[in-house]
Amino acid sequence: MIKSGFVSIAGRPNAGKSTLLNTILGEKRAIVTPKPQTTNKNIQGVYNDLRGQIVFIDTPGIHKPKTAYGEYLNKQAYNSIRGSEVTLLVVDASVDYGPGDEYLYSKLKLDHALIIVLTKIDLASPSHVKAVKDKWTENYPNTPLIEVSSVRNFNIAELVTLIFDYLEPGPLYFPRPEDYAIKLEQYINEIVREKIIMLTREEIPYSVAVVVDYLDESDTKIEAYLTVYCEKESQKGILIGKNAKMIKRIRLQAQYELTQFLKKDVLLELMVKVEPLWRSDSKILKKLLG
C-alpha cells in the first residue's frame, strides 16, 4: 500500500521555498513527474518513490498585505494550503526570528499537519540557527521542526521521510513517469551495495556485484535472496568475515534501512560467490542492467 498526498509549501517571500522544492525533486531516490496533466497551475512538482507520491503545491509568499494584489496573493496561498494534507512552513534560519514569522504562523490555522522547515542553515552560524530554532520550539513545542540546507542537500531525505510519516495510504494522483526506473529490485541492490562499500571500506572496492535471485512482495513483507559476486577468494573472506560477522552486519543494516524506507518487513538472504570474470559474464551483466 503506497502513501500519497498534497503538500503545500508556505513561507515568507525569499524564505527559500522554490529552492527547497527543487532540491526535494532532485533527491537521489525521487522519480519526478515532469508535467502533470492538470489545470491546477499551483502544482509545482510530483515526487514519486517506492513509498508513494507527494504532490507539491508552491504558494506565493505570504506577507502582511499592503495592496489589494498582495491580499489576492495571500488568499491564493491560503486556498492551496487549506486543501493539502501537510503544510511545510519554510523559515529562513539565517535571519532573526521576528514578527513576520509570528504573523505567518498565526495565519496558518490548519486542520492538518504542519512542519516547520528551518532552511539555509548553511548561511548562518550554528549558534544563530540554534537561537532561531529555540524560539520556534519554545513558542510552538508541538509542531515538528527540521533543519535543512537546500544548497548543501542537508536533511532533505529526512524531510521527505518526515512528510511520508504524516501521509496516509492513498492513490496515485498522477501516473508515475513511463521511465519509472527504480524498481524494487534495483533499490534493494543499491542499498546492499551501499552497505558493502560502507562496511568493508576500501577493502572491497567496486569489484562486487549484487544480483537479486528471488523476490517476493506482499502488503506487509518483502523477501529477497541475493547473490553477492566478487572476483577473488580473499574478497569473499572479507565479505563473509570472521564467524560470518561481516555478512551479517551487511544484511542487518540493509534490512534495517529497507524496512525504514519501505515501511514493510524486509527479509534478506545473502550468498557470496566468487566469479572471477563476472564483469564479462553476460548473464550477470544482463541481470544487473535489468
Ligand X SMILES: Nc1nc2c(ncn2[C@@H]2O[C@H](COP(=O)(O)OP(=O)(O)O)[C@@H](O)[C@H]2O)c(=O)[nH]1
Strand 145-147 relative to strand 52-58, pairing: unpaired
Task: Give the Cα separation of 117 and 26 in Å (integer).
Answer: 18
Query: Do 192 and 227 form a contact (C-beta atoms < 8 A)?
Result: no
Binds ligand X (CB under 6 A): choice among 2, 18, 157, 253: 18
Write out the binding residues for ligand X, residues 30-69 only, by CB under 6 A. Answer: 61
- Smallest distance from the beta carbon of 120 to Mg ion, in angstroms? 14
Contact 7, 163 (CB under 8 A): yes
State yes or no: residue 208 binds ligand X (CB under 6 A). no
CA-wise closest residue to 240 among 267, 211, 203, 276: 203
Least distance from ligand X to the Cβ atom of residue 159, Å: 12
Is 149 a binding residue for ligand X by CB under 6 A? The answer is yes
Stretch that binds ligand X, among 6-14, 101-109, 219-227, 277-285 (CB under 6 A): 6-14
d(CA 227, CA 214): 10
Taking the complex as a whole, the smallest distance from the CB of residue 164 to ligand X amounts, in Å, to 21
Binding-site member from 4, 5, 6, 11 for ligand X (CB under 6 A): 11
Closer CB to Mg ion, residue 18 or residue 42? 18
Radius of gyration of the chain (CA): 23
Of 48, 74, 135, give the one whose Cα is nearest residue 99: 135
In angstroms, give the least distance from the CB of 55 to Mg ion. Answer: 17
Closest CB to Mg ion among residues 22, 125: 22
In angstroms, the CA 53 to CA 6 distance is 9
What CA dihedral angle connects 77, 119, 47 and 36, to 10 degrees? 40
Which of the 8 DSSP states describes residue 176? P
76 binds Mg ion (CB under 5 A): no
Size of the site for Mg ion (CB under 5 A): 2
Q: Residue 19, interface with Mg ion (CB under 5 A)?
A: no
Comparison of 16 and 100: residue with beta carbon closer to ligand X: 16
Does 238 contact ligand X by CB under 6 A?
no
| Buried/exposed code over 42-78 (b: 16+ C-beta within 10 A; e: otherwise) | bbbbbbbbbbbbbbbbbbbbbbeeeeeeeeebbeebb
Q: Between 44 and 189, whose beta carbon lies closer to Mg ion?
A: 44
Provide, rounded to whole angstroms, the least separation between the CB of residue 144 and ligand X: 19
* Residue 18 binds Mg ion, judged by CB under 5 A: yes
Beta carbon nearer to ligand X, 52 or 100: 100
Tell me how many degrees the CA angle 4-9-14 measures, rounded to the nearest 5. Answer: 155
Q: Any contact of residue 122 with ligand X (CB under 6 A)?
A: yes
User: Would you count residue 5 as binding ligand X (CB under 6 A)?
Assistant: no
Which of 4, 119, 235, 255 binds ligand X (CB under 6 A)? It is 119
Name the site residues for ligand X (rule: CB under 6 A): 11, 13-19, 61, 119-120, 122-123, 149-151
Name the site residues for Mg ion (rule: CB under 5 A): 17-18
